[in-house]
Amino acid sequence: AQSVTQPDIHITVSEGASLELRCNYSYGATPYLFWYVQSPGQGLQLLLKYFSGDTLVQGIKGFEAEFKRSQSSFNLRKPSVHWSDAAEYFCAVGGRNQGGKLIFGQGTELSVKP
């Protein structure tokens, strides 16, 4: 079955601390992986994507993610969190021949302490 698991429903970090959000996927074909961020009342904004090649991908707002095929993981990281990073983060997986269908994880809500 195709699925995405984000084990942490809610994470709180202090401003300036490092961040890692976990994502594990189950997908039968070659996965295309995405991280999106959703601020309250807003749509989803793409942070970064992995299609192939270098397994460490850089995104916007200082985020990066590492694809580990052996662990079926695509964890999101940021070295120093800013208060404006507080939001909901979604990991998603899709494939080349799936009609564009994305399967989303349940999301991780990030809170940032001053």
- CB-based burial label for 79 (10 Å; 0-12, 13-18, 19+): exposed
Least distance from another protein to the Cβ atom of residue 80, Å: 25
Q: Does 59 bind another protein (CB under 8 A)?
A: no
CA distance linking residue 114 with residue 94, whole number of Å? 36
> Can you read off the two tokens belonging to residue 27?
């997908």
Q: Binders of another protein among 5-34, rule CB under 8 A?
A: 32, 34
Nearest residue to 30 (alpha-carbon basis) of 69, 57, 3: 69
Return phi, psi of residue 8, to 5°: -100, 115
Q: Which stretch binds another protein (CB under 8 A): 12-20, 61-69, 70-78, 95-103?
A: 95-103
Least distance from another protein to the Cβ atom of residue 101, Å: 5
Site size with another protein, rule: CB under 8 A: 26
Q: Which stretch binds another protein (CB under 8 A): 17-25, 64-72, 73-81, 91-99?
A: 91-99
Reduced to 3 states (helix: H, G, I; strand: E, B; else coil), residue 92 is: strand
Return phi, psi of residue 83, to 5°: -55, -30
Q: Does 69 bind another protein (CB under 8 A)?
A: no
Residues in contact with another protein by the rule CB under 8 A: 32, 34, 36, 38, 41-46, 49, 51, 88, 90, 94-102, 104, 106-107
